Chains A and B, each alone.
Chain A
């Protein structure tokens, strides 16, 4: 049966309203405060360290994001940790909140399709995240300009923008997950808790689980050659499993972008390093080629999770 009328009627209205809600909410204030604090803290240490180094570094600017001073993690690892939290905070009550406030049936009684409502909510939250992350990125870059006194090269700017885009894709995955849980669970608190559980699973427990699971994929070696092969297989299995986690994908992708010296993200055999000039940076195109599967993976995960949410929401009864 064909439905008449565009499914996107009212989309712009939903996006505008949801974004206004996000940007004025107390929740957003807290997140912004937290982010600024993190930026200030990590910048302070990284700029201090960079000023002390006298070695010539063609990618001085990118070090701003990656350098860490012992107790404090780098800006990059902070983001890897906090972006999911931000995304969860914006998404965990997006659908069940409408049910709880009893606004859903009133909104759906307007001449719009559900498609516009759910896509509008997703886009508004994603735009809010993108806006916050872009602002943060500009603060860090601007502070770098001020305190280092060195302008970034064209390639550094491009790599920095790439970093921002990957971070937004990473945020989209967690946002889609939070919305999926918010459609599945009627209670916003349950959805938030479930999302935090997944976040903890991937940021803390996944490496342990991978260590435990990887050997199960590899048979018992019979001799020395087979043992070597088995070790390589185990490492491969470990890598494949750990890449199920969006955190790993994000970590590897940003590593390759911000450390141009990164030549590979997997196992390297000695033979493969022959004739390579160790420590020489890759051109941007090659780095992008290296992380292309990662970026595709992140985008695919976000789309898959959102599609699930979409289907679930379409089938839900208006009256809960």
Chain B
């Protein structure tokens, strides 16, 4: 796994405001990397710097070994970008819109029509290819935006807020499309403020906070680091008070009882077997036992609660 995007001390200042404050990133070939964080935390600015679409105030960037400020054409030829607000020429058909970007991207006329058809088919827009984009729904526009990226056959696809303004079904479909990119060995960098929605597709994430990367790593590793335990086990059992017994188990970090008969166990490893044995041993009637993946939103909230408390 080699790094395709490398940023060192990347900084962007607009006048007196620091939008991005010395971030370091390393994104490896073939992974899905998530830039996550609230609006205005510097995600889009970082992306624009990676593409050479805005000047870098300080620090260095390497994309596919190239400097985007010096060789933007070479970078943009190999990197696809879908902006957070993706717009098209409304009076033109989907196909005509793609043909324009395809020609700008320097794709050979002979293969362009084929590639347009292939890209439209991949995002499920073949039927609507010759309709005016003005009549497209938000979900269709997003998918056309992805087709616009795929057309270039990029090595890296950068998707800014790809699930914005999509309903839950469209979001799931769109995330499936993103996962399909990974299968084709395209590195995906996506940004989002909707942590829950994208956590499922990201291999690694960087959590942005006020222009800095607060946390970086896999979702599980972050949960381990921030929540202390990487695993949360929900036990439903009637008949006996189990809390003290469960707390004594090896690997258990904490136990809480939100309602009688329901226990939430935080653990550093998967201790379901031990929990079940303990409950049965204590004479409780076990009704269900489940492992819950900690969510990124929780990681995020907990991390910043701790930061605030420390301050």
A residues neighboring B (CB under 8 Å):
1-5, 9-10, 13-14, 17, 21, 101-103, 105-113, 317-319
Contact = CB atoms under 8 A, between A and B. Distances in A.
Contact of A105 (B53, B89, B90): B53
Contact of A5 (B74, B82, B105): B74
Contacts of A103: 87-89
Contacts of A3: 70-72
A106 B101 contact: yes
B103 A13 contact: yes
Nearest to B99: A17
Contacts of B88: 101, 103, 106
Interface string B51-85: 10110000000000000011111101100111101
Interface of B: 44, 48, 51, 53-54, 69-74, 76-77, 80-83, 85-91, 100-101, 103-106, 145, 148
Contact of A112 (B80, B86, B89, B104): B104
Given A9-B106, A101-B89, A106-B87, A4 B54 contact: no
9 pairs of A and B residues whose beta carbons are closest in the complex: A102-B87, A109-B81, A5-B73, A110-B104, A105-B83, A111-B76, A13-B103, A111-B77, A4-B71
Given A102-B83, A319-B48, A5 B71 contact: yes
Q: Find the residue from A3, A9, A106, A108 having the highest chain B CB count within 10 A.
A: A106
Contacts, number: 84
Given A102-B87, A103-B88, A110-B105, A9 B53 contact: no
Contacts of B77: 111
Nearest to B145: A106
B87 A101 contact: yes
A111 B71 contact: no
14 contacts: A9-B106, A105-B53, A106-B81, A106-B83, A106-B86, A106-B101, A106-B145, A109-B53, A109-B81, A110-B101, A111-B76, A111-B104, A111-B106, A318-B54
A239 B284 CA distance: 105
Contacts of B70: 1-4
Contacts of A319: 44, 48, 54
B108 to A, nearest CB: 13
B126 to A, nearest CB: 21
A137 B235 CA distance: 87
Contacts of A111: 72-74, 76-77, 104-106
Nearest to A9: B73
Nearest to A12: B103
A13 B108 CA distance: 12
A110 B76 contact: yes
Contacts of A17: 100, 103
Contacts of A9: 73, 106
Contacts of A102: 83, 85-87
Given A2-B70, A102-B85, A319-B44, A107 B76 contact: no
